[in-house]
Amino acid sequence: MKQTILTNWTFSRGFRLIIGIGIIVQAILSRDLAFSLVGLLFSSLAVFNVGCCGSGGCAVPTKNFTPSKKDSNYEEVV
């Protein structure tokens, strides 16, 4: 858990954390509990490095495609 929090910080992860903290600050200034929960959600997603799809849930599987090197015969159709 500690390694997840302290490593692999990217620009988007830092940006999500800054947005989350900004939402929390705005919620405190406007005294809005629901808004602070949204800010807490954004901040926790950034800190724990997860997204809406979970850990790799949105990843598209790659196919191992190897083109065949077999010669093809073509016939002219009239």
Digit-coded pLDDT (tens) for 14-39: 888 899 999 999 999 999 999 999 99
Assess if residue 7 is contained within a domain: yes
pLDDT at 65: 63
- Picking from 40, 59, 37, 38, the residue whose alpha carbon sits closest to that of residue 48 is 40
Which residues, in sequence order, are CB contacts of 35 under 8 Å at separation 6+? 23, 26, 27
First to last CA, the chain: 68
Name the residue with tokens 């015969």.
73
Within-domain flag for 42: yes
pLDDT level of residue 60 (50, 70, 90 thresholds): low
Which residues span the domain enclosing 16?
2-47
Higher-confidence residue: 73 or 17? Answer: 17
Specify if 52 maps to a domain.
no
Q: Is the entire prediction scored with pTM above 0.75?
A: no
Secondary structure (3-state) at 20: helix
Count how many domains the chain has. 1
